[in-house]
């Protein structure tokens, strides 16, 4: 019952009208608004891409977004992607790089995040070698790379090689010269590294 979830009685929550019985709310057939969110700030901002963009936007949001969702306290990247599909979590964290990657540990409530891109806008990938390449790429990546993975917090060269095998850590370091050699000390979270070559 709607009223029991909101902490009020049926008489308090259901107005007495001919269409709605105040004791049984039998007239409720579809969705009912039971609360309004406070509005603050500028509701939309003109964007160079021509899409009205709600404000404030989530940090790290791509500029070619055309569909938005408000992030609420307790939301997760998986949950937002699931309920706003057809997108997956990988797309969501790519389009909202400030969300914290797979861990989604920096998702900020009361901001608007991207859940869709302008068709054909193409900033999700950059075909610099004839192969669709996710952006941003890690510095020092080889030019003939044809398979990529995103670097997440806690990743190391060994972990990435192990979970994206069959590749050796030596191959991974050779394909990604900017990771800092065997110590893997300059691996950059949020970038895409090479895990396979053509």
The C-alpha torsion from 171 through 177 and 178 to 183, rounded to 10°, is: 50
Task: Single out the residue of 106, 56, 115 nearest to residue 82, CA to CA.
Answer: 115
SS3 at position 65? strand
58-89 pLDDT per residue, tens: 888 888 889 999 999 999 998 999 899 778 88
Residue 194 vs residues 61, 90, 101, 149, 168: alpha-carbon distances, Å = 24, 17, 17, 7, 12
47-56 residue pLDDT tens: 666 788 999 9
Strand residues in the chain grouped as ranges (E): 44-45, 53-54, 65-70, 112-117, 145-150, 192-197
CATH class of 145-197: alpha beta
Mean pLDDT over the full length of the chain: 76
Rounded distance, CA 100 to CA 103, Å?
A: 6
Task: Report, as an integer, the average pLDDT of 138-143.
Answer: 86
Q: What is the pLDDT of residue 95?
A: 84
Confidence category of residue 36, pLDDT binned at 50, 70, 90: very low
**70 contact partners, CB below 8 Å, separation of at least 6:** 37, 54, 110, 111, 112
The yes-or-no verdict on residue 127 having pLDDT over 60 is no
Q: Is 16 within 8 Å of 22 (Cβ atoms)?
A: yes
Tell me the domain boundaries of the chain.
Answer: 1-35, 44-117, 145-197
CA distance 99 to 112: 11
- CA count, 13 A, side-chain hemisphere, 153: 11
């Amino acid at each position: 019952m709607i009223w029991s979830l909101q902490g009020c009685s049926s008489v308090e929550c259901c107005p007495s009208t001919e269409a709605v019985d105040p004791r049984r709310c039998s007239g409720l057939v579809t969705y009912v608004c039971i609360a309004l969110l406070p509005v603050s700030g500028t509701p939309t901002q003109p964007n160079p891409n021509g899409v009205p963009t709600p404000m404030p936007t989530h940090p790290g949001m791509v500029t070619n977004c055309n569909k938005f969702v408000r992030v609420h306290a307790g939301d997760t990247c998986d949950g937002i992607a699931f309920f706003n599909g057809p997108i997956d979590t990988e797309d969501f964290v790519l389009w909202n790089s400030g969300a914290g990657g797979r861990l989604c540990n920096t998702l900020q409530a009361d901001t608007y995040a991207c859940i869709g891109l302008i068709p054909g806008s193409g900033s999700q990938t950059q075909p610099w070698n004839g192969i669709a390449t996710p952006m941003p790429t890690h510095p020092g990546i080889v030019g003939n790379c044809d398979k990529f993975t995103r670097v997440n917090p806690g990743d190391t060269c060994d972990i990435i090689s192990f979970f994206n095998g069959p590749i050796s850590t030596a191959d991974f370091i050779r394909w990604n010269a900017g990771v800092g050699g065997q110590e893997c000390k300059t691996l950059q979270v949020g970038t895409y590294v090479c895990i396979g070559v053509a």
